[in-house]
């Protein structure tokens, strides 16, 4: 086992390379490009775009080390049969109807251009893509069994948005016994207050849901 110790809050995050996965949540055009779901909900997408570059560095380092990498995408079947009416109705009230036509195709629909992952973070062969209907990556997906089969116990979690899909996934993972490190500068919320609050919610009370750290702390450790 190759052991690492990352300077993190509330204390050092220790992991074995072979038992750790880098999880990249929903880095889809629908959250990071103009005209997508994120922007249609009334948000400024500058923060979600700004993490593409630091995240790319982490992804490169993880691939270099042979760390297991997993990508997720939020989205639905074209006939919307897997989209709860409640989710559909709330999106419509906000002017962001799931399935509505936008500049990148139908919003949050699998197979559409806007639903796919941004070019800079395109998955490589062998890196599973988890298509999820909800905010949490464990809900109604095969993520847990994929992690179990690989002997994964630790997750380094990145992506968007911090207060919605990233937090929900970390909470789900924590209850399933995974030790999660969230990278503060490789996650983004549309509002900086949500980013700050999310970081505090995770690492408070002795690491109630997990750890947080800046990506440079992980990168410094990985090059050793």
Catalytic residues, by residue number, are: 26, 132, 165
Confirm or reject binding of residue 161 to ligand TIU (CB under 6 A): yes
Give me 115's structure tokens.
Answer: 């639903």
Least CB distance to ligand TIU at residue 39 (A):
10
State the Cα–Cα distance between residues 136 and 132, nearest whole angstrom: 8
Confirm or reject binding of residue 41 to ligand TIU (CB under 6 A): yes
Choose the binding region for ligand TIU from 82-90, 123-131, 161-169, 176-184 (rule: CB under 6 A): 161-169
Confirm or reject binding of residue 165 to ligand TIU (CB under 6 A): yes
Distances (CA, A) of 155 to 23, 84, 117, 210: 7, 28, 20, 10
Confirm or reject binding of residue 26 to ligand TIU (CB under 6 A): yes
Least CB distance to ligand TIU at residue 115 (A):
11
Confirm or reject binding of residue 170 to ligand TIU (CB under 6 A): no
State the Cα–Cα distance between residues 147 and 16, nearest whole angstrom: 14
User: How many C-beta atoms surround the C-beta of residue 127 within 10 A?
Assistant: 17
The tally of CA atoms less than 13 A away on the side-chain side of residue 26 is: 30
* Chain contacts with ligand TIU (rule: CB under 6 A): 26, 31, 41, 74, 135, 160-161, 164-165
């Amino acid at each position: 086992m190759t052991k690492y110790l990352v300077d993190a809050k509330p204390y050092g995050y220790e992991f074995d390379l072979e038992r750790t996965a880098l999880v990249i949540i929903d880095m889809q055009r629908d959250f990071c490009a103009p005209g997508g779901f994120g922007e249609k909900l009334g948000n400024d997408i500058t923060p979600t775009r700004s993490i593409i570059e630091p995240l790319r560095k982490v992804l490169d380092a993880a691939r270099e080390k042979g760390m297991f990498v997993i990508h997720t995408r939020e989205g639905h079947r074209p006939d919307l049969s897997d989209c709860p009416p409640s989710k559909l109705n709330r999106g419509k009230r906000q002017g962001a109807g799931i399935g509505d036509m936008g500049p990148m195709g139908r919003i949050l629909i699998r197979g559409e251009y806007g639903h796919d992952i941004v070019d800079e973070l395109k998955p490589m062969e062998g890196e599973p893509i988890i298509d999820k209907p909800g905010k949490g990556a464990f809900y109604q997906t095969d993520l847990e069994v994929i992690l179990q089969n690989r002997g994964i116990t630790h997750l380094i979690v990145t992506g968007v948005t911090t207060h919605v899909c990233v937090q929900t996934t970390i909470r789900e993972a924590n209850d399933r016994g995974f030790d999660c490190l969230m990278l503060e500068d490789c996650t983004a919320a549309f509002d900086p207050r949500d980013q700050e609050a999310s970081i505090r919610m995770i690492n408070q009370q002795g690491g109630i849901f997990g750890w947080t750290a800046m990506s440079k702390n992980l990168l410094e450790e990985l090059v050793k």
